[in-house]
């Protein structure tokens, strides 16, 4: 019988032990007959019980308690602290000076310690101030009595500073500058608390990835005329594919940055660089980018899919995968908001920016400069209607302090850029590349390029550099 399994004694849990004890006490089988359970007493462990957690008192709860209970709550708290500390010292009144604007009030408060009440010193002072203001007229008599008796050496003076609500562009509002984000706090998509930091970062990026003047001088096979023809063709393709305007401007940015770094680009690969740059920009900006076969098709199958993919790898390696250079349209949206520009002003500025993207002489300007200069010309030629009376404004202020603050440019700094853009607009109907001019002749863009203001004497004044504030 050695093969039989030995009887296994299962460990007895505490609940089973208690059950057996109860059975033994009621005359069950287990009890006095079992020596192991003869003098067993139920073990009750209390160490596992959770300690009582004292929830900290918040300011709103304290205000609620003071409004409902009144002075009795503060007195009870003071008595409780006195009993715990086992001291017989009486509670001394403290004179607190509260500063609110230009008015200074002195109130009598009870000396409560911050560490005992679990509130900050400033919160306690505010609570006591509210309590005294809501109390009866006897409070004012106590103030006069306390002030006449003088202060003890142990009394301290606390000053309550009233802080304004932090605004979105400075903790201290600048004189004459409007906070354009003050009504955007309700919309989290507008990130009004961080928008100025974001644009400061974009200003730093445009300095990092700047295009130098005459960046094609080192090329042996490519000149500025070839670039102009390529960008004009890119604009037509972008319009046919119905892509976003940011996709077009990002394509131009990638082309210029690549050609600035790769000076041995052959002439036969220039169109391949342009198509691949648009392929990359589409994947970056578009929700539904075109297929790679579409980009091969628009080149009349001059380049295969494999060649486009190889050029894509080469471009991103040359740019070190830094594709996030800010675009002129990014800044234009912000500047138009600061100027409270109308839709027509914004559309005219977009037209000027597209003209500048094709012109080689403006390629070295920063995107923020192009956007600010385009908006200046738009506001100069199409002034924003004045609100209030119906009388027309003879000489409207084109560039306000608010615009100078948010664009970081004065009229003097924008003068050379404005002059160059004004020349482009004036010569737009007669130049050989007509993609942008023809596109803005359509009713979809309100026929902006044919507006008489863009070809009148006002534009001639800008060409000559006669800018107004």
pLDDT tens, position by position, for the chain (469 residues)? Answer: 555 555 555 666 666 655 655 555 444 444 445 455 445 455 544 555 545 555 566 666 655 655 555 545 445 554 555 454 444 444 444 444 444 444 444 444 445 444 444 455 566 676 677 767 766 444 444 444 444 444 444 444 444 444 444 444 444 456 678 899 999 989 999 999 999 999 999 999 999 999 999 999 989 999 999 999 999 999 999 999 999 999 999 999 999 999 999 999 999 999 999 999 999 999 999 999 999 999 999 999 899 999 999 999 999 999 999 999 999 999 999 999 999 999 999 999 999 999 999 999 999 999 999 999 999 999 999 998 755 444 444 455 789 999 999 999 999 999 999 999 999 999 999 999 999 999 999 999 999 999 999 988 888 889 888 888 7
**Residue 113, pLDDT score:** 47
DSSP code of residue 181: T
CA angle centred on 323, ends 322 and 329, rounded to 5°: 135
Contact yes or no for 378/355 (Cβ under 8 A) = no
Cα–Cα distance for residue pair 195/191, rounded to 1 Å:
6
* Per-residue confidence (pLDDT) for residue 406, from 0 to 100: 95
Residue 32's pLDDT is what? 47
Find the helix packing angle between 59-69 and 121-134, rounded to 10°: 30
Among residues 317, 236, 320, which one has the least CA distance to residue 271? 236
Q: What is the CATH number of domain 328-383+396-464?
A: 1.10.472.10
User: In whole angstroms, what is the distance from residue 112 CA to residue 78 CA?
Assistant: 7
Give residue 355's pLDDT: 96
What architecture does CATH give domain 224-319? Orthogonal Bundle (1.10)
Q: What is the pLDDT of residues 280-324, one digit of tens each?
A: 999 999 999 999 999 999 999 899 999 999 999 999 999 999 999
Q: How far apart are CA 65 and CA 73, in angstroms?
A: 7
CA 266 to the chain's CA centroid: 43
Query: How far apart (Å, rounded) are the C-alpha atoms in residues 450 and 426?
Result: 11
pLDDT of residue 468: 82
Same fold, 224-319 and 328-383+396-464: yes
Which residues, 6+ apart, have CB-to-CB distance to 467 below 8 Å?
Answer: 376, 380, 411, 414, 415, 418
Q: What does the domain layout of the chain look like in residue ranges?
A: 224-319, 328-383+396-464
For residue 174, the model assigns a pLDDT of 65
Q: Quick one: which of 120, 73, 128 has its CA closest to 98?
A: 128
Instruction: Output the CA torsion sign for 416, 421, 426, 427.
Output: positive
Name the one residue in this structure whose structure tokens are 């063709």: 233
**Whole-angstrom Cα distance, residue 443 to residue 16?**
89
Q: DSSP string covering 246-264, please? A: HHHHHHHHHHHHHHHH-TT
121 phi/psi in degrees, rounded to 5: -60, -40
pLDDT for position 460: 87
Q: Write down the pLDDT at residue 464.
A: 87
Cα 211 from chain centroid (whole Å)? 27
The torsion angles phi and psi of 429, rounded to 5 degrees, stand at -70, -15
């Amino acid at each position: 019988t050695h093969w039989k399994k030995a009887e296994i004694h299962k460990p007895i849990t505490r609940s089973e032990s208690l059950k057996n004890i109860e059975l033994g006490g009621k005359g069950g089988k287990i009890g006095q007959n079992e020596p192991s359970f003869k003098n067993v007493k139920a073990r009750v462990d209390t160490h596992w019980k959770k300690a009582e957690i004292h929830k900290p008192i918040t300011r709103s709860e304290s205000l609620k308690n003071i409004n409902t209970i009144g002075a009795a709550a503060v007195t009870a708290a003071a008595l409780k602290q006195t009993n715990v500390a086992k001291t017989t010292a009486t509670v001394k009144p403290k004179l607190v000076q509260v500063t609110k604007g230009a008015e200074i009030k002195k109130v009598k408060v009870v000396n409560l310690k911050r560490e005992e009440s679990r509130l900050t010193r400033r919160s306690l002072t505010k609570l006591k101030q509210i309590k005294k203001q809501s109390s009866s007229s006897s409070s004012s008599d106590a103030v006069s009595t306390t002030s006449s008796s003088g202060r003890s050496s142990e009394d301290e003076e606390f000053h309550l500073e009233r802080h304004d609500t932090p605004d979105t562009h400075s903790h201290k509002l600048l004189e004459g500058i409007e906070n354009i984000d003050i009504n955007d706090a309700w919309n989290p998509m507008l990130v009004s608390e961080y928008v100025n930091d974001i644009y400061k970062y974009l200003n730093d990026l445009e300095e990092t990835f700047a295009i130098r003047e005459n960046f094609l001088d080192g090329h042996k096979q490519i000149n500025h005329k070839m670039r102009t023809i390529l960008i004009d063709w890119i604009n037509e393709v972008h319009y046919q594919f119905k892509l976003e305007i940011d996709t077009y401007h990002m394509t131009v940015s990638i082309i210029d940055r690549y050609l600035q770094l790769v000076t041995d680009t052959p002439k036969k690969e220039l169109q391949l660089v342009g198509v691949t740059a648009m392929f990359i920009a589409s994947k970056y900006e578009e929700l539904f980018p075109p297929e790679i076969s579409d980009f091969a098709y628009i080149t009349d199958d001059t380049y295969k899919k494999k060649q486009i993919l190889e050029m894509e790898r080469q471009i991103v390696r040359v740019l070190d995968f830094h594709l996030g250079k800010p675009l002129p349209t990014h800044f234009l949206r912000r500047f138009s908001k600061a100027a409270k520009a109308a839709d027509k002003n914004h559309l005219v500025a977009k037209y000027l920016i597209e003209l500048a993207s094709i012109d080689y002489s403006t390629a070295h300007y920063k995107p923020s400069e192009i956007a600010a200069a385009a908006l200046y010309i738009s506001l100069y030629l199409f002034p924003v209607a004045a609100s209030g009376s119906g009388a027309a404004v003879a000489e409207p202020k084109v560039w306000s302090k608010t615009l100078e603050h948010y664009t970081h440019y004065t009229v003097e700094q924008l003068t050379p850029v404005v002059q160059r853009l004004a020349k482009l607009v004036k010569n737009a109907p007669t130049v050989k590349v007509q993609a942008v001019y023809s596109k803005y002749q359509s009713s979809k863009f309100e026929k902006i390029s044919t507006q008489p203001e863009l070809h009148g004497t006002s534009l001639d004044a800008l060409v000559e550099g006669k800018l107004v504030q």
